[in-house]
Amino acid sequence: MLFVGLTGSIATGKSTVSSLLSSPPYNLPIIDADLLARKVVEPGQPAYNKIVSHFLPSTPELLVAPGLGMPENGPDGSGRPLNRPALGRRVFGDSDERKKDRAVLNGIVHPAVRWGMYKGILGCYLKGYWGCVLDIPLLFESQLDRLCGVVLVVGVRDPEVQMKRLMDRDPHLTREDAENRVRSQGNVMEKTQRCLERGEGKGLVVWNDGTKEELKEQVDKAMQQIRAQNPTWWQVLLLVCPPLAISMAAYRFWDNSHINKRWEEKKERARL
């Protein structure tokens, strides 16, 4: 089964591409890290309890305020939902304190999300899909790109286009809040460069500075290339021969690890 790693930065159009890939003619299953991240921090979940334990003493507004329809102990007795804007203000930013808080939050959420992803991947394999999309904003940063046969980055060349989309989508954000959220997901231009460094057929970039129709044309072209390099007969063979599938997964992991090592060495040389 082919893993297509889908990434980008906030407000670049990654969700739109994800929607296109999950719709005809592709009908690919989407394993959405953002969706999983929301589920694992719902009241009553282990990650929710850890977040409340760590952040509530110093962030009084961490939980949605009780009121109409929101009793003190939450609708199901397991706790009030997280106040996501308040948590965002606590962890997004460039200061050492914000970086430390973000690292704590990631250390709580990421393991739970990874476990949810692995269960989703197994489910896709057992259902006989030829491929699935791993929709992960921090694909490179989490090193989950090592699992992927192909990485698809959604990029925006003009930072102001990205900022406008984000503030139009989330009007409660100040300019500073929006800039902090963009920075927290990494430089999208660096992601596109890193993607292309993977080599032909292993890394593809679609640009989303224009219309949705233009974006769809680029997605269609990228999927044509992906399907040409991963024909149906090969994917069927991997499905019916688990040892071969395991061997290919191990090779991809090894190859992608070497690609990442070369990228880090290139960055280091550029700093010297």
pLDDT 10s digits, 177-191: 888 888 877 788 999
Total domains, the chain:
2
Token reading at 270: 């550029």
Q: What is the pLDDT of residues 136-150, one digit of tens each?
A: 988 998 899 999 999
Q: Answer yes or no: do 40 and 152 share one domain.
A: no
**Does residue 16 sit in the same domain as residue 2?**
yes
pLDDT tens column, 190-248: 999 999 999 988 999 999 998 999 999 999 999 999 999 989 899 889 888 989 989 99
Of 56, 59, 38, nearest to 47 by C-alpha is 38
Note whether 123 and 104 are within 8 A (CB).
no
Give pLDDT tens digits for 39-78. 999 998 999 999 999 999 989 899 988 765 555 555 455 6
Residues 136 and 240 in one domain: yes
Q: Which domain, by its residues, includes 83?
A: 34-67+74-128
For residue 159, is the peptide bond before it cis, meaning its omega torsion is within 30 degrees of 0? no
The pLDDT of residue 71: 54
The CATH number of whichever domain residue 11 belongs to comes to 3.40.50.300
81 and 142 housed in the same domain: no
pTM: 0.85
Grade residue 16 by pLDDT with cuts at 50, 70 and 90.
very high
Single out the residue in 128, 143, 161 at which a domain terminates.
128
Distance, in Å, from the CA atom of 115 to the CA atom of 218, rounded to the nearest integer, reads 32
Q: Are residues 86 and 193 in the same domain?
A: no
- Give the residue with greater pLDDT, 184 vs 251: 251
